Amino acid sequence: MHEYSIAYDLYATSRRAAVENNAKRVKKVSVDVGKMAMVNPEQVTFLFDTIKEEDPLFKTTVLDCHEVAPRTKCHCGYSGEEIFVCPGCGALPELVKGREIVVTNVEIEVED
């Protein structure tokens, strides 16, 4: 259950941020999902909704997943989106971006 631990992690991270900022409600959690992370954003969203269900802070929270294109670089100086063969020298480029799953923003409502 790869997706489950990811969804749980997103919940725990955004909950911590919300509590630290005295939130009474979490409106939206934005997440960058690298295309090379090999996760299904729809499944992560579904699991996130299941995990947060019992949490009043998260009653109306929307999880917003953005897919992030991979980015690679090569020792020959190439950098771009080719992930298997470097167009410059034919070597296997190094993946520098696209495998991460990170919370980029937590939108909250605070007590006034």
- Contact footprint for Zn ion (CB under 5 A): 74, 76, 78, 86, 88-89, 91
Closer by beta carbon to Zn ion, 61 or else 72: 72
Least distance to Zn ion, CB of residue 79, Å = 9
Closer by beta carbon to Zn ion, 82 or else 107: 82
How big is the CA angle at 56 (ends 52 and 60), to the nearest 5 degrees? 70
3-state helix, strand, coil in the chain (%, to 5): 35, 35, 35
Query: Could you report how far apart the first and last alpha carbons of the chain are, in Å?
Result: 40
Bridge pairing between strands 62-68 and 23-34: parallel
Closer by beta carbon to Zn ion, 44 or else 74: 74
- The tokens for 10 are 């997103």
Least distance to Zn ion, CB of residue 81, Å = 14
Least distance to Zn ion, CB of residue 82, Å = 9
